[in-house]
Structure 1
Amino acid sequence: MNSLRDINSDSVLRFGPYVFHLRQRLILDGERPLRMGGRALEILQVLVEHAGAVVSKEALIAHVWPTSVVEEINLRVHIAALRRALGDGPNGQPYILNIPQRGYSFIAPVQRDRAGTPVLVETVHKPLHNLPARLTPVTGRDSIVGSVVRQLPVRRFMTLVGPAGIGKTTVALRVAELLLQHYRDGVWLVDLACIDAPSQLLAHLSRTLELDVGTAALAQRHALVVLDNCEHLLERCRAVVDDLLASAPRLSILATSREPLRAVGETVLRLPALKVPPPSALYSVAEAMGYSAVQLLVSRARARQQGFVLRQQDLKAAREICRRLDGLPLAIELAAAQIDALALVGMQAQLDNCFQLLSQGRRTAVPRHQNLKAALDWSYERLSPLEQTVLQRLAVFNMAFTLDAAIGVISCAVLRPTCLVEIVERLASKSLLSVEQGSGVTRYRFLNTTRTYVLDKLEHSGHLRTFELRHSRYIRRARWTSNGHVSLQLVE
């Protein structure tokens, strides 16, 4: 195969109904120019120049991104966009085939002509957007990012849901970046954290999208709107999303929230924590680096401390840090920022004091993302007083618990069983408790970081000792059941 950079820029390439003017970086379908981004055009140019041959993924990435380190998903997204734009070839197959384990191949016959008279067409503008520049790579999210990228243009409305610090905004922005070339009228980030009143939402949306006549201007636009941080405006967001999807048939919406919007047609994707090493021993650095939580810890530590290397003797500490921080990307990033001062072993020793330890965050981030406490404050302060009380008292459970156990320990004249069940379920829907299903039993569990946060609240309320005693008495009663069955159903 010739060098991938051996391109004759004076040539015109013809295939199917298309004419590809290389010098002008233009593809015509008859007289109609196809709108394609620069990266997609570069990929297509390489494939068409080597029609019939297989071009490896590595070679394509090296050609299109010669000075950058990018994930393979970038290439897959652009290939998918090319397939959508070109449709099927004369034989009913896509023009570009994926050759498993090898790469991609352009399979249609290609004719090369010398360039003739320049073609005068409307200039194809770069995609419009207001996305912030990404300063660090996204770790451990390729699978879920790829899933959203594939589904969103079809489903039109998806919501990323998860607890504080799980990385919802990071994933949403990465999806938006990868879909820039797909949406003709742009990709727009609308951060709702900066407004408090539901009545402000439409005006804020119009300002961000630079709409002169309100959201009615979106009716004919082929665009993606990212609604970030919807949890405190759920009802208003639900109504606005319903209206937009009905009135703007080419609009897609990606929302982030700590609970679903429950709007019509919503596809909810709960964001998992990064993959944490199991309690069993890690036998090599390579094995540890197979877990995305460790990958993030190491990459961010290297960014702060030149020459940082994960050593064999560090594996236990690294695993414990990732486990105690629940695989939460924000918590791990904040911990990594302290490694140059404390080293991994020192960081591990300080985890019982995690909120003080992780209070120094990213100065350039919005306040709720600067440190772990701020991220949890954002959720906690939006709970009702009764929800806050229940969350505090549940913190005496240091393992997974059932609703029966919660009722047995914290119910009272105000928190009657029916009311308590409803509140626990609401807290789970808000991502403050995680839900586990097994053997036909539903259990609830705190993330370590969330439990530490609300346990501190319970202590300051003056009721910690009371509910610790109630918890202990409940466990003793459960152990004394005559048939040996522990009705409490706590699990490690």
Structure 2
Amino acid sequence: MSDVFVFGPYCLFPQARILQRDGANVMLGSRAFDMLAAMVKRAGQVLSQRDLMEIAWPNLVVEDSNVRVQMASLRRKLGCGNDSVRYIASIAGRGYCFVAPVQCGDSAVTLPAASNTHALPPPPPPLAHALGRAEQIAQLSDALRSRRFVTVVGSGGVGKTTLALLVAHQLHEFTAATCFVDLGPVERGALVVDAVAAALGIEAEREVRLDALLAVVGERRMLVILDNCEHLIDTVADLVERLTEHAPYLSLLVTSREALRVHGESVYLLPPLGSPPHTGRLTARQAMTWPAVQLFMERAAEGGHHAPLSNEQASVVAAICRRLDGNPLMIELVASRVGRYGIQGVADLLGNQLALRWRGRRDAAPRHRTVEATLDWSCTLLRARDRRVLHRLAIFTGEFSLDAGIAVAAEDICPAEVAEAIGDLIDKSLIAVNTTDGKTKLRLLDTMRTYATMKLGTRAGAAIAPERIPAIHDV
């Protein structure tokens, strides 16, 4: 077994990177831990600032003040000066020395199990059951077992959080070792590390909080879920790179409306719920085999519509689900109004701004309470150029080619920038892509088209010249 160093009420396990006081873990940043371990191993010897910099910041050039900051934090953690206790002495002009008596042992002290170094609360239960998601649960579970870092990407409301939580509860190898972090309420990138540290129960001063975070996850086999990352994408990408570099046993599950695009990432594109194709007459029994229709009727019943689906209504409900692109959140919001408006009435109102503002559950996150709020969340993150292009693409009522999209939007934007904007909109899950027979077609969700026409038009700039519209469909 690796050596254990005992001084006062402390046990230091250098190999496991654990410091305990009276059996309880003491949280240290990774650099403070490296300096403490070096001094304890050479107790009674003086280590210069240069020595400590080479230990804590190998191959890096840093200011001498970094050593002083880490040493001050380390002394506070150890309680130096309390009740005349002294562990680390400053030697003027030379450096630092560990001056407390140290005992070195092995079997006399039992190394704590890595999985028990820090108790974690279980992840919250998903708000919805796995309707139509059995295949995705199995696929994402397999992906996490074979890869360390997976990002679930999909449009707003498609069920990324629900899927992540369902998978977290199914992966028994991470029982009691899963940390769920909802970044949706976090407004600034500077607070991302704080949110993750708080979820892990880490109490550390801001200047060493990241080091403390890396120290906690560094030697543990655990799963960290970073949920709703799209508005903090750059900061989350930086943090994930640090985590994958310093925590070899850590598994990461990220949900976002766009990929992080960093080293080691495996992207899982979450498809919408299956909806009946537009293939002619449909019976109620046939329609109810599709998960999107099942969800629609469940939510309709919860909203006061208790009649079963009839053969006459089956095609109408199937058309609603297709228009909503099988998006679970939007299906739920629309179906909740069937009790008041009826199935046909809801279908008639889908292209109206009223449908964008139908409210869902009061306990839902603000961005999920209406279709409008869901789309607002995505569109406020766009550049002005991308909003303008999105507004102009709303002229298409069905699929269109990339060339057609460029022809529509390039009136006062150069074609190369329009192509780049369309690519960004695809990456952010705002434009759907369909490739059949070697041809790629693009499409806006009906609700997005309504939203773009009604809400983005006032701030998107110049409208499409009428004389250009007839030529669009010939491109």
C-alpha contact 2:221 2:250 (8 A) present in aligned 1: yes
Give how far 1:468 is off. 5.0
Q: What is the aligned partner in structure 1 of residue 173 from structure 2?
A: 182
- Alpha-carbon deviations, 1:368-388, whole Å to 9, x = none? 011111011000001111111
Q: Which residue of 2 aligns with 1:199?
A: 190
Structure 1 residues 219 and 406, CA gap change in structure 2 (3 angstroms): same
1:159 aligns to what? 151
Return the offset for 1:192. 1.1
Partner SS state of residue 272, structure 1: coil
Q: Pairwise mapping of residues 350-389 of structure 1 onto structure 2 (< 5 A)?
A: 350-353=349-352, 355-356=354-355, 358-389=357-388
Aligned twin of 1:3: none
Larger Rg: 2
Q: Which residue of 1 aligns with 2:65?
A: none
* Secondary structure at the counterpart of residue 400 of structure 1: coil
TM-score between both structures, scaled by the size of structure 1: 0.67
Q: How many residues align?
A: 353
Superposed, 1:234-383 pairs within 5 Å as: 234-305=233-304, 307-353=306-352, 355-356=354-355, 358-383=357-382
Give yes or no for contact 1:410–1:467 (8 Å, CA) kept in 2: no
Q: Are 1:150 and 2:142 matched, yes or no? A: yes
Alpha-carbon distance between aligned partners in 1 of 2:433 and 2:127, rounded to the nearest angstrom: 34
1:465/1:250 CA distance change after superposition, 3 Å: closer
Aligned to 1:81: none
Q: Report which stretch shifted further, 224-233 or 305-314.
A: 305-314
Q: Give, in whole Å, the separation in 1 of the partners of 2:375 and 2:356.
A: 15
The TM-score, its normalising length taken from structure 2, stands at 0.69
TM-fit CA distance, 1:458: 4.6
- 1:418 paired with 2:409, answer no
CA pair 364-467 structure 1, distance change in 2 beyond 3 A? farther
Identify which of 98, 113, 125 aligns with 1:133: 125
1:360 is aligned with what amino acid? R
* SS at structure 2 position matched to 1:298: helix
What is the one-letter code of the residue matched to 1:455? Answer: T
Structure 2 CA distance for aligned equivalents of residues 458 and 236 of structure 1: 28
- 1:302-322 CA-to-partner distances (Å, cap 9, x unmatched) read 333374422223212211221
Offset of residue 284 of structure 1: 2.8
SS at match of 2:156: coil
**Equivalent residue letter for 1:145:** I
- Separation of aligned partners in 2, 1:235 and 1:357: 30
**Identity percentage over the alignment?**
36
In the alignment, which of 424, 448, 451 is matched to residue 449 of structure 2? 451
**Distance in structure 1 (CA, Å) of the matches to 2:438 and 2:430:** 22
Instruction: Give the Å deviation of 1:233.
Output: 1.6
Determine helix, strand or coil for the equivalent of 2:254: strand
Q: Quote the offset at 1:244 in angstroms.
A: 0.9
Structure 2 runs not aligned, ≥5 long: 1-112, 204-211
2:406 and 2:379 mapped to 1: Cα distance? 22
CA deviation profile, 1:317-344 (whole Å, cap 9, x unmatched): 2112212211110011011211111221
Larger relative contact order, structure 1 or 2 (CA cutoff 8 Å, min sep 6): 2
Q: Deviations over 1:116-167 (max 9, x none)?
A: xxxxxx9x99x94342234442211110111111220220211111112211
Cα separation, 1, equivalents of 2:353 and 2:402 = 28
CA distance in 2, matches of 1:354, 1:292: 26
Residues 402, 444 of structure 1: 8 Å contact kept: yes
Structure 1: gaps (5+ residues): 1-121, 479-487
C-alpha contact 2:392 2:464 (8 A) present in aligned 1: no
Given that residues 297 and 336 in structure 1 are in contact (C-alpha distance below 8 angstroms), is that contact kept between their aligned partners in structure 2?
A: yes
The residue identity in structure 2 corresponding to 1:207 is A
- Aligned residues of 1:176 and 1:187 also touching (Cα < 8 A): yes
- AA matched with 2:133: R
Q: CA deviation at 1:257?
A: 0.7
Q: Deviations over 1:42-73 (max 9, x none)?
A: xxxxxxxxxxxxxxxxxxxxxxxxxxxxxxxx
Give how far 1:461 is off: 4.6
Whether the 8 Å CA contact 2:120–2:177 is kept in 1: the answer is: yes
Q: Distance in 2 between matches of 1:170 and 1:285?
A: 28
Residue 467 to residue 452, structure 1, CA distance change in 2 (3 Å)? farther
Partners of 1:304 and 1:134 lie apart in 2 by 21
Counterpart of 1:98?
none
Could you tell me which residue of structure 2 aligns to residue 57 of structure 1? none
Cα gap change, 1:432 to 1:467, in 2 (>3 Å): farther
1:361 partner SS:
coil
Contact 2:357 2:370 (8 Å CA) reproduced: yes
Matches within 5 A, 1:18-33: none
Tell me the residue number matched to 2:82.
none
- Contact 1:368–1:374 (CA<8 Å) still a contact in 2? yes
Q: For residues 162 and 184 of structure 1, do their structure 2 counterparts lie closer, same or farther at Cα, with a shift above 3 Å needed?
A: closer
The one-letter amino acid of 2:358's match is S
Query: Contact conserved, 2:305 with 2:339, CA < 8 A, in 1?
Result: no
- Offset from partner CA, 1:204-246 (integer Å, 9 cap, x none): 1101121233332111222111111111222221121121122
| Separation (CA, whole Å) in 2 of partners of 1:356 and 1:384 | 26
Secondary structure, in 3 states, of the residue corresponding to 2:278?
A: coil
SS at match of 1:256: strand
In 1, Cα distance between equivalents of 2:286 and 2:430: 31
